[in-house]
Amino acid sequence: MRQFIQILSFFIFISCQSQDSALSQDSEEIILRDVKIINVHDGSISESMDVLVKEGKISTIGNGIRAENARVVDGKGRYLMPGLAEMHAHIPSPQWGRDNTEETLFLYLSNGVTTIRGMLGHPVHLELREKAKNNEILSPRIFTSSPSVNGNSVKSKEEAVAKVTQYKNDGYDFLKIHPGLTKEIFNQVVKTADEVGIGFSGHVPVDVGVVHAIKSGYSSIDHVDGFLEGLVPESANVTPNQNGFFGYNFSHLADNSRIDRLVFLTKQHKVWVVPTQSLFVRWFSPVDPEVMAETNPELKYMPKSTIDQWISSKKSLISSPEFTNEKYILFSEIRYQVIKSLHESGYGLLLGSDAPQVFNVPGFSIHHELNAIIDVGLTPLESIQTGTINPAKFFNMEGQFGEIIEGASADLILLETNPLEDISNLRNPAGVMVRGIWLDRKTIDRRLEEIAERAKKI
């Protein structure tokens, strides 16, 4: 049986006073002076440029820009790039048992994540999305899924029609598909979604299978779900629901010559893929979780109870009788081949880490994901594109965010060194701007220190 456990995390409260201070910059004009602008389309760099930000947008890009009342941020010797999109994020909701929304959103922002796609929706997220859009809260741009559409929440074709129609009318950006749907009910979900005009993304239910899922028109398939199972020949005569953790149990049966067909289908049917490869590196790898807990500095922002849950979950997964290092290596090699092929010949990849999840702290996990897809074979520029221009294309919002051009949203990351030379240069930005609101390094560090201190008390 597929194991996919959403580990809920607890954060601490950041004062409303500090948020109000940041939001007071909403109408402020800012000049980022003498920066090196990274073109995320081709990797070229424009030297000694000024960027004027007005009303949350990039107003002017040029040399020697003057604006009488503008605040000037010194960018000399620094690199400026668009903010990143976390395309498989999770946003707190009431069932988490605690209102920790502000904390989670700030953890994303502190790492340059200025857009998030929430993958487990709740009615409160609709209001949150609008508040973020209007700068009523300090937050990345938000896109939100519906509540989960799965085998427990939708048990009949009639219920599929009702739920999909309701979620469209409620205003969710897309449907979130989870495991458990029968093929018949899934088909009804797709039919109704097409009729009412709402997309769908997420998992591939076992009964549906990846080929049928792709042909049904997913907006995105996340976790590369179903692809390994799709490489198993019919002659293997497997029982589908014995696939294990994302097909792990079938690794030895995979026929890699089938990869090209699946990749071609994703391109033909315009299906994006969110690998969340860091999830498999950090949760499913045979690394001692106790060691991970001791050697990952970002865990200081998490309560001990959450870290203990993560340790327990990882131990349980990698201590099962089916798990061996050799099988994990084979499983990983197959995923690497699939992801690289999807990048080279498929419709496209989107950056996402599935945070918060086991050893994936919101915001910080995006750096693990960037490293993970570089390990697959992408260049630093290509990996950055999965979190900038690709999400803009995905949302049909090219020119509105994801690149530094006049008229685009002022979602920016200021860096001390060039991330195209070393992707780790994206860590610890000198500053982050979200819709024209500027967060300098001191502000980021001060708030992160508050989070770390309060995490000790939970």
Average per-residue pLDDT in the chain? 93
What is the dihedral angle through the alpha carbons of 177, 183, 186, 191, rounded to the nearest 10 degrees? 140
Residue with tokens 């089938």: 258
Question: Residue 160's pLDDT is what?
Answer: 98
pLDDT digits (tens, 9 = 90+) for 82-97: 999 999 999 988 766 5
Q: Does domain 84-401 have CATH number 3.40.50.300?
A: no
In angstroms, rounded to a whole number, what is the distance separating the alpha carbons of residues 199 and 218?
7
Question: Residue 23's pLDDT is what?
Answer: 57
Backbone angles phi, psi at 211, to 5 degrees: -65, -50
Q: Does residue 12 have a pLDDT over 70?
A: no
Residue with tokens 């090196």: 36
In angstroms, rounded to a whole number, what is the distance separating the alpha carbons of residues 434 and 138?
8
pLDDT digits (tens, 9 = 90+) for 350-404: 999 999 999 999 999 999 999 999 999 999 999 999 999 999 999 999 999 999 9
Question: Residue 94's pLDDT is what?
Answer: 79
